Amino acid sequence: MQQLSLEVVAGPGLATPPQHWREADHWRTNLQLMLFSGDANYNETIGAAFPLQSTSHPTGLWLTEASVERHPGPNGVGIKAGVFSLDPGFVSAPVLDAYVHSALNDTLNLNVSGLPINPYSAPGLQLRWRPEPAGRWGEWRYGAFLLDPEFNLASLFGVNPDQARLNGHTQLLQWSFERLPGSDALQQPIRRGDQLVSRQLPPPLLQIATGYLDNRSTGNLDGAAAATLTLAAPLPLGLDNRVWLGLNAGFNWDTNPVPLFLGGGWLTQGVVPGRPLDVLALGVGSSRFSPTLSPGQGSETVLELNYSWLVNSNLSLQPVLQLILNPSGSNAEPILAAGLQLQLQF
């Protein structure tokens, strides 16, 4: 699969460097388009339930965001309105971006049909509130999306969205907390002798979210709770280490295709001598199928090992090795897959 993304951001506050956006009060507008090409159904060809990479979506051109956003700085309420996805604002945590497989990368393998998970988008409103500027009480985030136009937005440029039309809405509430053990020290660069090395791993984070989707087309009401915990790990390997755990638990096992997902992993930076900015990642995720919608199917588990090789500021290569156990929840032989993800930014 290939993914080409175009992002346009405009606003008077953009003169502020991105790393200081949290401290700056400004408005901006966002426009994002994504173009997918390749074989989006390759996982089905080899007998796996979930795509081997997060870029696996129906081919064609998508409108993934057209929104107006206010960053309030350390105080006040942040507002985002327009057409956008629930991720990366909800459920997804920065640590998940280190992985390639779709069950590990992104939104803890949420599979409720109709959720506006990127590249799917829907008209929505998002509110962000940090009660205390230093983040002592964390950050609250609320989101609401109208799902009726989602099919038409996905097919705006001729894409076959590969999902049924849906009438309904979804609402989500999330709490994030960053002031975990070691978080202050991790805001500083890594000192390596007389050299300072920028940190590539995400900061510690606890994130808890819950929400529901009201599908008037079927009369189903699906809800779920999700949580991720990312911690610094004082391991004698590399220059910096993180461990993480993730959970997605659905409330209605009769209508949720994957009502339970458990995941976890380890990231280390600079483990290869002479490569201080490269990251090695190991992850595992297990997806439990609904006994009502998929009788006789148990769980599909993926183990992933990858290495992010930063060639330069524009190009990175990520060789990946994946082992899929019980493909599609069956007793079939494990699948061993090797691949290469290339990311080019300019």
* Residues 108-117 pLDDT 10s: 999 988 899 9
pTM reported for the whole predicted model: 0.91
- Domain boundaries, position 117: 2-344
The number of domains in the chain is 1
How high is the pLDDT of residue 106? 87
Give the CATH number of the domain where residue 189 resides: 2.40.160.10
Q: What is the pLDDT of residue 187?
A: 85
CB 111 within 8 A of CB 103: no
H or E segment and range at residue 157: none
* C-alpha to C-alpha distance for 290 and 261, rounded to whole angstroms: 11
Sequence-distant (6+) residues with CB within 8 A of 335 are 46, 47, 48, 322, 323, 324, 327
Q: Which two tokens stand for residue 208?
A: 């808890």
**Closest by Cα among 215, 222, 246 to 91:** 246
pLDDT in tens, 9-66: 988 755 556 555 555 567 899 999 999 999 999 999 999 999 999 988 999 999 999 9
Average pLDDT of the residues in 130-157: 93
